[in-house]
Amino acid sequence: MKNDGRTLTRETLEAMRFMALERMAEGESPAAVSASFGMHRTWAYKVRLKVRGRGQGKQALQLRRAPGRRRKLTDAQGRQVFRWVNGKNPRQYGFDFGLWTRQIVRELIAQRLGVSLSLASVGALLARVGLTAQKPLQRAYQRDPDAIERWQRETYPAILDSIFLQASNCCLYS
């Protein structure tokens, strides 16, 4: 089974590249090296090409800074946002609305951490820390099971009877 290099950590991939280079230097074929690591056949060839082609030697295989823009919030700040949101009510932080929305979390982050995030970034942050959108329960806190049962037993059938009576009166004249 092939490994997906995207699921491995960058440090693991770096170690794999150096081990593959050593094994190829000992005479093992790139295809066999790739197969032993569970990577695609061309992976070892690309490792060897990096070392030969850039003029940097083994330094070409070392970790470099990850491409792309860094996150505005650190992992510790993300965990802090999780602690603020999880099990708490926005009203405890002075907001008018009682349910967490991305907009409210965004405002809380701006107030507490001084960092401005887009709504998409807030959604990604919440997903990363394990919080997902939940629909609130549509059950009223004043719900009376006895009144519901009485309505289903008495009122609703009376409504149906009156509808059928009106419908039958309309049909007699046509």
Question: 167 pLDDT band (50/70/90 cuts)?
Answer: low
- Give the closest residue to 125 by CA, choosing from 139, 137, 113, 141: 113
Tell me what pLDDT residue 123 has. 93
Helix (H, G, I), strand (E, B) or coil at 93: helix
Higher-confidence residue of 167 and 42: namely 42
What pLDDT shows up at residue 170? 57
Q: Is the dihedral of CA 82, 88, 89, 95 positive or negative?
A: negative
Predicted local confidence at residue 46, as pLDDT = 83
Mean residue pLDDT across the chain: 83
Type of residue numbered 77: Q
Residue 48 pLDDT grade (very low, low, confident, very high; cuts 50, 70, 90)? confident
8 Å CB contact between 61 and 49:
no
Cβ contacts of residue 136 below 8 Å, gap of 6+? 99
pLDDT at 153 over 70: yes
Residues 60-94 pLDDT 10s = 677 677 778 888 999 999 999 999 999 888 989 99
Cβ–Cβ under 8 Å, residues 111 and 66? no
Q: What percent of the chain has pLDDT over 70?
A: 85
pLDDT band at 174; cut points 50, 70, 90: very low
Alpha helices (runs of H) in 54-118, residue ranges in sequence order = 75-85, 102-113
pLDDT digits (tens, 9 = 90+) for 110-147: 999 999 999 999 999 999 999 887 776 666 667 788 88
Q: What is the pLDDT of residue 156?
A: 86
Q: Is 141 helix (H, G, I), strand (E, B) or coil?
A: coil
For 148, list phi and psi in degrees, rounded to 5: -65, -45
Q: And the tokens for 10?
A: 């960058």
Contacts of 98 (CB under 8 A, 6+ apart): 89, 90, 91
Q: What is the pLDDT of residue 65?
A: 73
What DSSP character marks residue 7? Answer: G
Half-sphere exposure of 84 (CA within 13 A, CB side): 22
- Looking at residues 39-43, what average pLDDT do you find? 86
